[in-house]
Structure 1
Amino acid sequence: MEISSLALFRGIPPEECGEMMALGCVRTADFEKGAVLFRTGDVTGEFGVLLSGEVHVESGDLWGNRVILHSIPAGHAFAETYALCGVPMMADVIAVQPSRVLFIRLAALLDEANSAQPWYPKLLRNLTLLFARKNLAWSGRVFCLSAKGIRSRVMMYLSAQAAQAGSTEFSIPFDRQQLADYLNVERSALSKELGRMRNEGILTFRKNHFQLHRTIER
Structure 2
Amino acid sequence: MVIEALERQTLELLAERGRPRDFKKGTQIFRHGERGTSLLIVETGRAEVSITTATGQKSILGLVGAGDVIGDIACLDGGPRSADVVALEPVTGLEVARRDVLQILKEDGDSAILVIVALCQKARNASEMFELKALASGRSRLASCILRLLKDQNGDASADRVQVSQSWLGAYAGLTRENVNRQLRIWARDGIARFEKGAVVITNLNALEDIALNDGD
Q: TM-score if structure 2 supplies the norm length?
A: 0.77
What SS does the aligned partner of 1:135 have? helix
What's the counterpart of residue 49 of structure 1?
41
Structure 1 pair 192/65, CA: closer, same or farther in 2 (3 Å)? same
1:84 aligns with 2:92: no
Q: Pick the structure with more helix per residue.
A: 2
Unaligned ranges ≥5, structure 2: 209-217
Query: Residue 210 of structure 1: SS of its match in structure 2?
Result: strand
Report the Cα offset of residue 129 of structure 1: 4.2
- Among 69, 93, 96, the residue aligned to 1:101: 93
**Cα pair distance change 1:37/1:204, threshold 3 Å:** closer
> How far is the alpha carbon of 1:154 from its aligned partner?
1.2
Decide which of 8, 30, 54 is 1:11's aligned counterpart. Answer: 8
Does 1:178 pair with 2:175? Answer: no
Q: Residue 36 in 1 paired to residue 33 in 2?
A: no
Question: Residue by residue, what CA displacement relative to the aligned partner does 1:103-145 show, whole Å, maximum 9, x if unpaired?
Answer: 1223433239x84x5xx23432442343244335434533431
TM-score when scaled to structure 1?
0.77
Partners of 1:11 and 1:165 in 2: CA distance: 23
Deviation at 1:179, TM superposition (A): 0.5
Q: Tell me if structure 2 keeps the 8 A contact 1:71–1:173.
A: no
Q: Is 2:205 the counterpart of 1:211?
A: no
Aligned pairs for 1:15-30 (under 5 A) are 17=12, 24=17, 26-30=18-22
1:135 matched to 2:127? no
**Do the aligned partners of residues 59 and 205 (structure 1) sit closer, same or farther apart at CA in structure 2, a change above 3 Å counting?**
same
Where 1:124 maps in the other structure, the secondary structure is helix
Who is 1:67 aligned against?
A: 59
Partner of 1:190: 180
Cα offsets for 1:144-202 (capped at 9, x unmatched): 313433211112223444564342x4222421111111111110111011111222333
Q: Which has the larger radius of gyration?
A: 1
3-state SS in 2 of match to 1:51: strand
Is residue 161–residue 170 contact of structure 1 (8 Å, CA) maintained in 2?
no
What's the C-alpha RMSD, in Å, of the aligned pairs?
A: 3.0
Distance in 1, matches of 2:21 and 2:86, equals: 14
The one-letter code sitting in structure 2 at the alignment partner of 1:60 is T
Distance change >3 Å, CA 149–CA 8, structure 1 → 2: closer
CA distance in 1, matches of 2:150, 2:84: 28
Residue 199 of structure 1 corresponds to which residue in structure 2?
Answer: 189
- Give deviations 1:58-89, integer Å, cap 9, x for gaps: 12246643221111011101111111122222
Contact kept, 8 Å, 2:20 with 2:95, in 1: the verdict is yes
Given candidates 141, 146, 156, the residue that maps to 1:153 is 141
Amino acid at match of 2:8: G
Distance 1:34 1:95 in 2: 5
Q: Distance in 1 between matches of 2:149 and 2:23?
A: 27
Report if aligned partners of 2:193, 2:200 keep a CA contact under 8 Å in 1: no
Separation (CA, whole Å) in 1 of partners of 2:51 and 2:121: 21
